[in-house]
């Protein structure tokens, strides 16, 4: 029987592509329609994603523990049903209040259960020595959705309307993603008499270990430095990326090209190019984390993100704007890969769901503030200053990440550092 680990990676790519694409990358394309139909401000629309990040992170505390104890496949199936219900509900929303409520409940719970949290655990169940590159490939779905979906969905909104677009998203989840999960997801290699990394001389000891008590993670300095570094990274990345299209419009980059018969806006192309940088970054940093001490690729990633953000605030030509978008994308592309890989190296796959979930207690208070700050700054006409603040936060994340130190451990005997 061929090794099924890479099949799980392929499934992870598809889930990440769909969940992040439908929830995040396509959402800014709806802003104009939502402002007109719901009478919403930029800050209110940004608030939907802020609530999503807050509530999904809170839900992840419980979901992470469940993933360490129960079937990943079953949780993904339940998450897919909840997520599809949320997408259908958005299609019929009539006020900004209910849009915010849906993002804070159905999308916030169903998204991580179907997508990133579950598939990260799934991939970690199948890989150890090659975990970095496997997680990196799995996560390209996140950024690849940003490359493809805005280009495809933007004209689709004009063709069938934004409400019908969300119904199409829900149909994809129900009729494509859920059957794939049901038919092909295998929780662990032991279920099919295989081993992690397709190893012929495996150490299967960790497969039977119980997760650490949740509060024990707080005793380890590596937990704090990883969580704080990526809280700052998400803070700065979210604020800039969500508002990249309106920023490009304010700079006057509003020309429309023709590409393969599709109308392609300069703003959408720039947004997609940033996402393409994310695709490259995920593979690059997944490769590096398997071969370098953990803090080095994280520091490189933070440097790229800061450089890209500062570039976006000072450039004037469209060509330089595109270069800044790509560098910014290279940086933020490594975030989810490196965070998961760092936690995996520090605590083992049997603790990954729990530690990813409990880290939300540090990340949640910080992460959504970037989106709120930049959204309010746009309404106040001072968003360039807020972009500079996001760049400064990336530099602070660089300094924090330099303190990350992870040594090889015998996971059952983890000692506070």
pLDDT surpassing 50 at residue 416: no
* Span 134-154, pLDDT tens digits: 998 998 888 788 778 888 898
| Rounded Cα distance, 332 and 238, in Å | 9
Kindly state the tokens that stand for 244: 């990249």
Residue 66 lies inside a defined structural domain of this protein: yes
Strand partners, 263: 258
Closest by alpha carbon to 332, among 237, 205, 250, 402?
Answer: 237
pLDDT for the residue 230: 95
CB crowding 214-241: b at 16 or more within 10 Å, else e = bebbeebebbbbbbbbbbbbbbbbbbbb
pLDDT surpassing 70 at residue 162: yes
Helix H or strand E encompassing 309: helix 295-314
Helix H or strand E encompassing 338: helix 335-347
Percent of the chain with pLDDT over 90: 48
Cα end-to-end span (Å), the chain: 42
Q: 119 to each of 25, 47, 149, 361, 368, how far by Cα in Å?
A: 19, 26, 21, 21, 23
| Rounded Cα distance, 62 and 60, in Å | 5
Residue 198 lies inside a defined structural domain of this protein: no
Q: Which of 25-39, 201-215, 219-233, 246-260 is the least confident region?
A: 201-215
* Span 344-381, pLDDT tens digits: 888 888 888 888 888 888 887 887 788 888 888 888 88
Chain centroid to CA 131: how far? 17
Question: Structural domain tally of the chain?
Answer: 1
Which residue, chain included where needed, has tokens 């330089």? 320
Residue 381 lies inside a defined structural domain of this protein: yes
CB 268 within 8 A of CB 150: yes
pLDDT surpassing 50 at residue 415: no
Q: To the nearest 10°, the Cα dihedral for 25, 28, 30, 33? A: 180
* Span 40-98, pLDDT tens digits: 887 788 788 878 888 988 898 899 889 988 999 999 999 999 999 999 999 999 999 99
* pTM exceeds 0.85: no
Residue 91 lies inside a defined structural domain of this protein: yes
Question: What's the burial of 202, exposed, middle or buried (CB within 10 Å: 0-12/13-18/19+)?
Answer: middle
Residues 6+ apart with CB under 8 A from 23: 52, 107, 111
| Rounded Cα distance, 29 and 26, in Å | 5
Residue 336 lies inside a defined structural domain of this protein: yes
Closest by alpha carbon to 128, among 204, 49, 26?
Answer: 204
pLDDT surpassing 70 at residue 199: yes
Radius of gyration of the chain from Cα atoms? 20
Closest by alpha carbon to 366, among 277, 238, 223, 207?
Answer: 238
Give the residue, 272 or 235, on which the prediction is more confident: 235
pLDDT for the residue 201: 62
Give the residue, 76 or 130, on which the prediction is more confident: 76
pLDDT for the residue 388: 94
Residue 69 lies inside a defined structural domain of this protein: yes
| Rounded Cα distance, 108 and 82, in Å | 9
* Span 274-324, pLDDT tens digits: 988 988 998 899 899 888 888 999 999 999 999 999 999 998 899 999 999
Q: To the nearest 10°, the Cα dihedral for 224, 218, 62, 213? A: 150
pLDDT surpassing 80 at residue 177: yes
Find the domain containing 44 and state its range. 5-190+211-406
CATH number at residue 158: 1.20.1250.20
Closest by alpha carbon to 270, among 297, 301, 249, 285?
Answer: 249
> Could you tell me what percentage of the chain is helix, strand and coil, using 3-state DSSP and rounding each to the nearest 5?
80, 0, 20
Q: Which of 157-161, 305-309, 403-407 is the least confident region?
A: 403-407
pLDDT for the residue 166: 96
| Rounded Cα distance, 168 and 90, in Å | 12
| Rounded Cα distance, 355 and 99, in Å | 30
Helix H or strand E encompassing 265: strand 262-265
pLDDT for the residue 260: 60
Kindly state the tokens that stand for 240: 């800039």
Kindly state the tokens that stand for 363: 């990340």
Residue 200 lies inside a defined structural domain of this protein: no
Residue 206 lies inside a defined structural domain of this protein: no
Neighbours of 95 (CB within 10 A): 12
């Amino acid at each position: 029987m061929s090794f099924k680990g890479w099949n799980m990676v392929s499934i992870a790519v598809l889930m990440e592509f769909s969940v992040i694409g439908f929830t995040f990358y396509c959402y800014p394309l709806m802003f104009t329609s939502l402002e007109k139909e719901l009478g919403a401000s930029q800050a209110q629309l940004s608030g939907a994603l802020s609530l999503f990040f807050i509530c999904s992170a809170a839900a992840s505390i419980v979901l992470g523990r469940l993933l360490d104890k129960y079937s990943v496949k079953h949780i993904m199936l339940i998450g897919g049903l909840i997520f599809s219900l949320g997408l259908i509900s958005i299609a019929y929303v009539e006020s900004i209040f209910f849009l915010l409520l849906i993002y804070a409940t159905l999308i916030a719970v169903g998204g991580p259960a179907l997508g990133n949290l579950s598939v990260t655990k799934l991939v970690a169940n199948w890989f150890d020595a090659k975990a970095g590159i496997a997680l990196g490939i799995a996560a390209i779905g996140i950024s690849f959705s940003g490359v493809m979906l805005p280009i495809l969905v933007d004209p689709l909104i004009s063709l069938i309307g934004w409400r019908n677009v969300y119904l199409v998203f829900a149909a994809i989840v129900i009729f494509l993603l859920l059957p794939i999960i049901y038919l092909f997801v295998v929780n662990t290699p032991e279920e099919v008499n295989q081993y992690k990394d397709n190893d012929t001389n495996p150490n299967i000891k960790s497969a039977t270990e119980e997760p650490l008590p949740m509060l024990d993670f707080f005793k380890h300095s590596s937990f704090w430095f990883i969580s704080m570094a990526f809280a700052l990274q998400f803070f700065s990345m979210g604020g800039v990326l969500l508002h990249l299209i309106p920023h490009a419009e304010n700079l006057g980059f509003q020309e429309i090209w023709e590409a393969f018969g599709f109308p392609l806006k300069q703003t959408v192309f720039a947004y997609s190019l940033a996402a393409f940088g994310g695709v490259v970054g995920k593979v690059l940093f997944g490769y590096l984390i398997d071969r370098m001490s953990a803090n080095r690729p994280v520091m490189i990633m933070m440097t790229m993100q800061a450089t890209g953000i500062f570039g976006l605030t000072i450039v004037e030509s469209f060509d330089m704007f595109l270069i800044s978008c790509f560098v910014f994308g290279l940086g933020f592309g490594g975030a989810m890969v490196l965070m998961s890989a760092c936690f995996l190296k520090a605590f083992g796959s049997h603790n990954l769901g729990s530690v990813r979930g409990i880290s939300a207690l540090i990340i949640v208070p910080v992460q959504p503030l970037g989106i709120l700050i930049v959204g309010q700054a746009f309404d106040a006409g001072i968003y360039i200053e807020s972009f500079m603040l996001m760049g400064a936060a990336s530099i602070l994340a660089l300094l924090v990440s330099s303190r990350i130190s992870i040594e090889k451990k015998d996971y059952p005997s983890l000692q506070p550092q």
